């Protein structure tokens, strides 16, 4: 697992769509790699924010688009 793998799989990690082995590998990488851990915190925070917004109301398309721009 390197930083590029980590970045690649982070989204699926947050959605818990990876296999147990991959989840563990990614977790280990995050523990040993501060930049990736920071990225993870950021993405996780963003995901929580989106979840809250979506639960309150359907997120408008413009808002989704903005998020996509932030995420890429």
- The span of 8-16, 32-40, 45-53, 54-62 binding Zn ion (CB under 5 A) equals 32-40
- The span of 5-13, 19-27, 39-47, 55-63 binding Zn ion (CB under 5 A) equals 5-13
Out of 3, 24, 49, 71, the residue judged to bind Zn ion by CB under 5 A: 3
Question: Which residue, chain included where needed, has tokens 């690649």?
Answer: 8
- Comparison of 31 and 65: residue with beta carbon closer to Zn ion: 31
Half-sphere exposure of 48 (CA within 13 A, CB side): 6
Q: What is the DSSP string of 9-28?
A: HHHHHHTT-S-HHHHHHHHH
Give 57's DSSP letter: S
The binding site for Zn ion (CB under 5 A) comprises 3, 6, 33, 36
């Amino acid at each position: 697992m390197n930083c590029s793998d980590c970045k690649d799989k982070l989204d699926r990690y947050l959605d818990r769509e990876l296999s147990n082995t991959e989840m563990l590998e990614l977790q280990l990488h995050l523990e040993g790699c501060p930049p990736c851990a920071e990225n993870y915190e950021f993405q996780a925070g963003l995901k929580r924010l989106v979840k809250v917004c979506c639960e309150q109301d359907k997120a408008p398309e413009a808002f989704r688009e903005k998020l996509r721009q932030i995420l890429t």
